[in-house]
Structure 1
Amino acid sequence: MMKHITLKPLLHRGKDCIGIYFAKDAALQSIIRKHTDARWSKTHTCWYVEDTAQNHSKLKAALNKALEIPGREVIHVVREIRATEGEKTRVGTAATHLPAKTEKALSKKGAASGIALPSGIIHNVNVRALLQFERELVLKAYSPNTIRTYKNEFAQFLVAINKHPTEAFTPDRLKDYLQYCSEKLNLSENTLHSRMNALKFYYEKVLGREKFFWAIPRPKKQLILPKVISKEQIASLINSIENKKHKTIIALAYACGLRVSEVVSLKISNIDGQRNMLFIERGKGKKDRVISLSPHILFMLRDYYRTYKPKFYLFEGQYENEHLSHRSIQAVMQRAKKKAGINQAGGMHMLRHSFATHLLDKGIDVVFIQKLLGHKDIKTTLKYLHVTNKDLTNILSPIEDIDDLLKK
């Protein structure tokens, strides 16, 4: 039976890495360990190496060795791999086939028939565009998550356009591409917005074409209501957890309306026990904010600290000077939900949604909630108005107005 080796981008312990995935195979494992500095990750359940030029060479040598073993096929699906000008960059994507009509519209000068584009290959004409794109994102100090998302979206575009240079595209040609994404690839509204954001950044910030996207309409975003659970379910969730560290994590996330990224990056120095305050350092959008700590949660934090004695990060991971991973905390949340009998879909962010909604239920002004959550735009906070029970329970049905007229 043919076996596959899959390479994927991986963020491990704060570093860009390449994950090496394959089914259990002693021969393959021996080759990978012999020819690379790969280490095993329990968190991601794969072998991995740091994403460096030197490791690319070692991986190439190891994979060539793997090909010598009968019955092995190596499938490259690396989304983000450095390249020099003149090289072709391989990214993780399915084979892309543009229909003849779309390809002709994109080409203007191109062939009238459809072209089956190479699977996951960025043509050497556009490799430099990807490098310039990444450099501009880094220089503008975008977050690692945003850089990763934008690069992946832009890479999908580069794969699709194949040999056509990015500089030659006009707003009308981009409309053809986005129509293809919507109708043929069936991308969701959110994914389309993400891809358009990446393309807008490239054409307006990298190439300096101001107002390039003015004539390109955006799809209307779906109103997706926040996933919220009741206060009673929150209590059941927290009470179901026996591990003191895990219980403190879940309680703190709800009590302060924190994002999971903010929970894992909390340092001991972020807690001001004298003023009962929690300092969120460079949250989403690189905004600092301060949140009040309730006496109950402060008691839990002190009890947790006495037991675990963390040194730097509040919630330390498996290795020294490293915080707990996002995945570990999400796993804690899912186990607690199952134990508490909560069947509603949703992860850690459900606690943040519930925090905001419960404050609205108590009559707290939405502007204050916006500041507590660290939202840049009040519109983001206003979505909680759609799920709050405030005032709705006090609205009487019109049938009450004719109660006296109804036959008993």
Structure 2
Amino acid sequence: MLKDKMIKDMIVHGYAEETIRSYTTCMTLLTRHFQKSPIDLEPIDIYHFFLYLRLEKRADSSLIIFYSAFMLFYSLSGRKEMMQLVPLPKRKRTVVSVFNKTEIIRILSNCRTVWEKVLFTLLYSSGIRIGEVVKLKISHIDFERKAILIESGKGGHSRYALLADTTAILLKQYLEIYNPKSFLFFSHKGKDVAASVRSIQAAFQKIRKLSGIEKYGTVHTLRHSFATHLMEDGYGLIYIQKLLGHADIKTTLVYLHVCPSYLLHITSPLETISEIKMGIFENQGQHGLQFH
């Protein structure tokens, strides 16, 4: 089958599990749309499919995933020309949503169970992704070094995330109460089954509404808030990039656009040149300044 071959090729090329799942889903949707194999399509069909996606108001980020999936499939099939009529979708720069520190306190204060309290405290205090937290195992927590091992993050890269002291205390209580066996946050189906992303998102939305926060946000907003608050506290972009696991510093630069207070803390070069300031005020005293 074409799907099986594509999956095997992606595994050989080192693609992450989530990427493989996303790309194969894109190919399945393309097949269902035309009711024929992707091999039997023509460039004009791909053009019309992207037109359909645009008319459906799909987000640019979604279009990029479709484009990447199709480009990979047809490149592996030796038919790169299939994408010749479709331009590479460009991601529009958007200002990400961020919770302020007061809102974070309200969210964590309104968690209904120890499980929720520990989960969302860990997500905010470490800045890790929701897809990374569901993969966490007990062995990934290093209390002595105050670190969390992210064994296979986005792009298949491993890194260490912060384990805050408060989070560590909550985690130790959580381990005693819930006694997880494998996955740190397990499903109601059993301790050998990881909690689902969907269930975590649903729980978060209930807590957000319970906290009286009108601002829309998702679990990923906790990650944005983590990075923004670090920047507001004076930490540099390079450190934040490493903690977030961004391969490219350009991805981290988005937080400059959501952190006005960080920019407002910058001192104008005028304030550092005393001779210029003295000259300005001396001229004002001698000649006066008139405003019309």
Bin for the TM-score computed over the shorter chain: 0.7 to 0.9
**Counterparts of 2:167 and 2:191, CA distance in 1:** 26
Equivalent residue of 1:336, what SS?
helix
Corresponding residue of 1:300: 170
Q: Kindly indicate whether the alpha-carbon contact (under 8 Å) linking 1:362 and 1:390 is maintained by their aligned counterparts in 2.
A: no
Residues 157 and 321 of structure 1: CA distance in aligned 2, closer, same or farther (over 3 Å): closer
Partner of residue 276 from structure 1, selected from 146, 154, 161:
146
Aligned residues: 272
Question: Does 1:137 find its partner at 2:10?
Answer: yes
Question: Does 1:359 find its partner at 2:230?
Answer: yes
The one-letter amino acid paired with 1:294 is A
Residues 358 and 186 of structure 1: CA distance in aligned 2, closer, same or farther (over 3 Å): closer
TM-score normalised by structure 1 residue count = 0.59
Corresponding residue of 2:68: 197
Corresponding residue of 1:157: 30
How far 1:366 moved relative to its partner? 0.9
**Counterparts of 2:221 and 2:146, CA distance in 1:** 25
Q: Kindly indicate whether the alpha-carbon contact (under 8 Å) linking 1:181 and 1:187 is maintained by their aligned counterparts in 2.
A: no
Residues 160 and 331 of structure 1: CA distance in aligned 2, closer, same or farther (over 3 Å): closer
Residues 313 and 209 of structure 1: CA distance in aligned 2, closer, same or farther (over 3 Å): same
How far 1:299 moved relative to its partner? 1.6
Identity among equivalent positions (%) equals: 33
Corresponding residue of 2:216: 345
Q: Kindly indicate whether the alpha-carbon contact (under 8 Å) linking 2:125 and 2:162 is maintained by their aligned counterparts in 1.
A: no
**1:32-111 correspondence to structure 2 within 5 Å:** none
The one-letter amino acid paired with 1:145 is E
How far 1:175 moved relative to its partner? 6.4
How far 1:383 moved relative to its partner? 1.0
Partner of residue 231 from structure 1, selected from 79, 87, 101:
101
Question: Does 1:331 find its partner at 2:202?
Answer: yes
Q: Kindly indicate whether the alpha-carbon contact (under 8 Å) linking 2:46 and 2:83 is maintained by their aligned counterparts in 1.
A: no
TM-score normalised by structure 2 residue count = 0.80
Q: Kindly indicate whether the alpha-carbon contact (under 8 Å) linking 2:234 and 2:262 is maintained by their aligned counterparts in 1.
A: no
**Counterparts of 1:186 and 1:316, CA distance in 2:** 35
Higher helix share: 2
How far 1:382 moved relative to its partner? 1.1
**1:177-216 correspondence to structure 2 within 5 Å:** 177=48, 180-181=51-52, 185-204=56-75, 206-209=76-79, 216=86
**Counterparts of 1:306 and 1:201, CA distance in 2:** 47
The one-letter amino acid paired with 1:248 is V
Question: Does 1:313 find its partner at 2:183?
Answer: yes
**Counterparts of 1:191 and 1:288, CA distance in 2:** 25
**Counterparts of 2:159 and 2:49, CA distance in 1:** 38
Residues 161 and 238 of structure 1: CA distance in aligned 2, closer, same or farther (over 3 Å): closer
**Counterparts of 1:335 and 1:187, CA distance in 2:** 26
The runs of at least 4 aligned residues of structure 1 exceeding 6 Å deviation read: 404-407
**Counterparts of 2:266 and 2:236, CA distance in 1:** 20
Runs of at least 5 residues in structure 2 that lack an aligned partner in the other structure? 268-288
- Partner deviation per Cα, 1:72-100 (whole Å, 9 max, x = no partner): xxxxxxxxxxxxxxxxxxxxxxxxxxxxx
**Counterparts of 2:186 and 2:50, CA distance in 1:** 46
- Partner deviation per Cα, 1:175-232 (whole Å, 9 max, x = no partner): 633553356555442332222111100111x214569757852232222322101011
**Counterparts of 1:351 and 1:168, CA distance in 2:** 42
How far 1:159 moved relative to its partner? 4.0
The one-letter amino acid paired with 1:334 is Q
Equivalent residue of 2:73, what SS?
helix
Equivalent residue of 2:194, what SS?
coil
Partner of residue 248 from structure 2, selected from 377, 399, 404:
377
Corresponding residue of 1:251: 121
